[in-house]
Amino acid sequence: MMNDEWIEDIASGYRQAQVLLTAVRLGVFSKLGEHALSAEELAQRIQCSLRGTRILCDALAALGLLVKEKDAYRNTELGVRLLVDSGAESRNPMMLHNALLYERWAGLIDAVRAGGKTTPLPDRQTAADKHAFARAMAVAARETADKTAALLNLSRASKLLDVGGGPGMYALAFAGRNPQLIVSILDDAGTLAVAEENIKHAGLESRINCVAGNVLDAAITGKYDFIFISNVIHCYSSEQNRRIVNRCRAMLEPGGRLCLKDFFVEPSRTAPEWNAVFAVNMLLGTENGDCYTLDEAERWLRDAGFGRFQRVQITKRDAMIIGSMLRQEQCAAD
Ligand SMILES: C[S@@+](CC[C@H](N)C(=O)[O-])C[C@H]1O[C@@H](n2cnc3c(N)ncnc32)[C@H](O)[C@@H]1O
């Protein structure tokens, strides 16, 4: 409910975010690992001032992100799992991505005035940046990919294309659950380097292949019976998304299905809250991107000749719509 404290919490939320993101960037959680260290010891290991380290760590402890006992700091159990670089469940690639986005968010006033991004972005220019972004996407997809694969019936599909498949987490989940399936991931070459690492690690090189290209304009060949597009349409305008849908249609076998998965918003565009705020991220980071409604996505699909729509809620933030390609006479009757 709206009151003074609630407004103040929103207004100062950047402080908590910066305390956490700065600690990850400095390696506070990773240097602590499973040990307890005094402020002096930790300051030395992260090569920072004693005063800065002490104040930062006290704030981390106040937020519940570290534990302070006598004069020593240690990680929480959750911190060891999620915030230490070497942990199998480390979320740090996503934290570093958020730290980078933070710089972009400082320019929100200019983006709102101009209606889009106003300066070249500091991220995603070099191969190393693409690598870092793909690793962050892998963290984001960790739980959602398997949930999505569990909700899609791919038992009759033999060739699936994952457009903008990034680090390949969805491709891995689809291939893992459907032993008959051959999966192709379409993305740019820099991003696919991360997918290739993940595919190799899973030993699925014989069933998942990578194709470098841009779905909007590359000459893409091949026919598929299922095309999956996750978290790509929010980068583009409605017109560009219609083009993507039409290009995908041309790559589908008769009766094939196209799935658009994204952070969809309700018709009012004000919920879910996280998705409505994510749309601001697209205002800052893209020329024309946005969060769309499922009705809008259905219209793009319907106008391209799809029917028999199925809407599936995956998590609070993620939903998908699946359309089947109709034959000409079905289109007319639909
Ligand atoms: C936000 S990431 C999503 C990655 C993955 N699909 C997921 O949901 O985790 C968007 C991905 O789409 C790729 N992408 C964006 N536009 C594309 C295009 N026009 N053609 C091919 N890939 C594209 C980006 O390189 C990036 O890897």
Under a CB-based contact definition with an 8 Å cutoff, are residues 192 and 212 in contact? yes
Q: Which helix (H) or strand (E) holds 31?
A: helix 28-32
Ligand 1, atom 8, lies closest to the CA of 230
Ranges 106-120, 182-196, 240-254: which has the least confidence: 106-120
pLDDT for 332 equals 46
Q: Torsions phi, psi of 84, nearest 5?
A: -95, 130
Mean pLDDT of the chain: 94
Q: 176: pLDDT confidence band, cut at 50, 70 and 90?
A: very high
User: Domain locations in the chain?
Assistant: 4-89, 140-333
| Predicted local confidence at residue 333, as pLDDT | 43
Confidence of residue 218 (pLDDT cuts 50, 70, 90): confident
Between 124 and 139, whose confidence is greater? 139
Query: What ligand 1 atom has the least distance to the C-alpha of 229?
Result: 6
Residue 331 has pLDDT above 90, yes or no: no
Question: Does the C-beta of 138 come closer than 6 Å to ligand 1?
Answer: no
Does residue 165's CB lie within 6 angstroms of at least one atom of ligand 1?
Answer: yes
Ligand 1, residue 214: give the atom nearest the CA: 20
Class level of CATH domain 140-333: alpha beta
To the nearest 5 percent, what fractions of the chain are helix, strand and coil?
Answer: 50, 20, 30
Residue 116, pLDDT > 90, answer no
4-89 sits in which CATH class?
mainly alpha
Residue to substitute in 152, 184, 187, 286 for testing ligand 1 pocket (most ligand atoms within 8 angstroms of CB): 187
State the DSSP code for 55: H
- Spatial distance between the Cα atoms of 201 and 192, rounded to a whole number of angstroms: 14
Does residue 272 have a cis bond before it (omega within 30 degrees)? yes
